[in-house]
Amino acid sequence: MESSADSQRQLVIGGAGAVAALLLGLATTWAIKDYNAYIALGPGGPPNNFFGWAIVNIAVRPFCSTKAKATFTDDYPKHGAHNNIESLPRRRGPRASVAGLVPHRQVTQRAPETMRTRVSSYERHHDALFVAEKLLNESAMHLPKAASMAKGELGHHHEDLSMHLYLSPADARQVIEKGWGERHRLSVPTNTWFRHRYGIGDTYLMIYGPRNEEEMEALRTILESSIRFMTGRNVNALEWRS
């Protein structure tokens, strides 16, 4: 006849096994869902396969902020934004949905096909925008830390005309609070342990793709401010070209 202690031990073991099975099932379900979401984002950064997905979850995710922190602006100054950024209206409607870590992509409110061929004169022949190497070498002490940290890249555009861009801290606050963009998940405040991982500074933003001509003008304003911040120089008005 089993003792009371043996019965209790079996109950504990059985309960622990049930909990472990439940946790394993939940983890498997999450992993399958997250893997499919990663593949759906397409190429960009790590390989678009299981190996790339594993890299992101092991080497990138631990250093990322949560989705809720993507619109956090308390670490940015309230004053000091450029006048053209101060004058930006609020973006209409809800924010676009953004998914992924690397790649990091806008997945709703995508630009109409008729607008996806529009690029600025600065981007026409390049996927990314860079500070000139000569300027980086000769004026590094006068440029923001982000310029050297990003190896001169101030940003790049995606097929849907959304963009990853660096802005000044004060401009970044205005852009986020007016609904034009959000932080990259690796763009964490400078007072955190995991700041500047993978060469990404605290004002690296996802700028939502424009849905109409009015929003194209807003994107122009934001892009001009990014160039001004990263080069330390005034910039001529950008022209959109087809």
Do 72 and 167 fall into the same domain? Answer: yes
Do 80 and 37 fall into the same domain? Answer: no
Do 121 and 156 fall into the same domain? Answer: yes
Specify the pLDDT at position 181: 98
Do 30 and 110 fall into the same domain? Answer: no
Do 23 and 49 fall into the same domain? Answer: yes
Q: Taking Cα atoms as reference points, which of 174, 182, 156, 153 lies closest to residue 221?
A: 174
56 by DSSP, 3-state: which? Answer: helix
Do 210 and 106 fall into the same domain? Answer: yes
Kindly give, in sequence order, each residue whose CB lies less than 8 Å from that of residue 144, ignoring residues fewer than 6 positions away.
166, 168, 229, 230, 232
Do 116 and 221 fall into the same domain? Answer: yes
Q: Of 39, 59, 79, which one is at a domain's C-terminal end? A: 59
47 by DSSP, 3-state: which? Answer: coil
Q: Helical H runs in the chain?
A: 4-40, 50-55, 83-86, 133-138, 145-149, 169-177, 213-231
Do 144 and 186 fall into the same domain? Answer: yes
Alpha carbon separation from 131 to 134, 135, 166, 224, 227 (Å, rounded): 8, 7, 12, 13, 8
Do 104 and 156 fall into the same domain? Answer: yes
Distance, CA of 41 to CA of 102 (rounded, Å): 9
**Averaged pLDDT in 10-residue chunks for the chain of 242 residues:** 63 70 80 91 86 92 92 96 96 95 90 62 54 73 83 84 94 98 93 83 95 92 93 77 64
Predicted structure pTM score: 0.83
Distance, CA of 240 to CA of 242 (rounded, Å): 7
Tokens 């007072």 found at = 191
Tokens 């909990």 found at = 19
Specify the pLDDT at position 159: 79
Q: What is the tally of structural domains in the chain?
A: 2
Specify the pLDDT at position 144: 87
Q: Of 15, 31, 59, which one is at a domain's C-terminal end? A: 59
Do 36 and 77 fall into the same domain? Answer: no
Alpha carbon separation from 4 to 7, 17, 100, 150 (Å, rounded): 5, 20, 52, 65
User: Residue 15 is part of which domain span?
Assistant: 4-59
Sign of the CA dihedral with 196 first, then 204, 57, and 30 last: positive
Do 45 and 114 fall into the same domain? Answer: no
Classify each residue of 155-191 as buried b or exposed e, where b means 16 or more C-beta atoms within 10 Å of its C-beta: bebbebbbbbbbbbbbbbbbbbeebbbbbbbbbbbee
Specify the pLDDT at position 2: 53
Q: Of 14, 42, 59, which one is at a domain's C-terminal end? A: 59
Do 51 and 33 fall into the same domain? Answer: yes
Specify the pLDDT at position 88: 97
Specify the pLDDT at position 121: 44
